[in-house]
Structure 1
């Protein structure tokens, strides 16, 4: 079961992974997010069988909004 607090779980045990349409094809710096879970699992696309970091839905939404609004830099 996925916790709503930040944690790590085996990414291979989860389903519904997708990569953002903003991800570059050749850079290898892509994250994938899994749909259909109460919390938001995130993994490195190059390590599909590695760990996933799990965020609360509110935490992930705040992070994405901050990125979109330029409050975080890469």
Structure 2
């Protein structure tokens, strides 16, 4: 299990006042975490650095659009 107590959460610069906010913690050893800033008690998705890079690449290139 990953200790999230030392996570340094940053809100996305793309998050506005719409209530759809994402936070990212990249200071955890070997992993990155993403969570909903409105509901941090619901936990976070945890990715290896390579998995996060691949996920963000797929999002940016539209590969996950439905």
- Aligning the two structures, in what range does the TM-score lie when normalised by the shorter sequence? 0.7 to 0.9
Structure 1 unmatched runs, 5+: 3-8
Equivalent pairs, count: 65
Aligned to 2:18: 27
Where does structure 2 lack aligned partners over 5 or more consecutive residues?
none
Written as runs of structure 1 = structure 2, the 5 A alignment for 1:1-16 is 1-2=1-2, 13-16=5-8
Structure of higher RCO (CA pairs closer than 8 Å, 6+ residues apart):
1
RMSD of equivalent CA atoms = 2.1
Q: Which digits, 9 at most, give the CA deviation of each residue in 1:25-69, with x for residues without a partner?
A: 222112111121121111111013331121111111101011111
- The residue aligned with 1:42 is 34
Question: What's the counterpart of residue 54 of structure 1?
Answer: 46
Tell me how far apart the structure 2 counterparts of residues 52 and 69 of structure 1 sit (CA, whole Å). 24
Give the TM-score taking structure 2 as reference length. 0.77
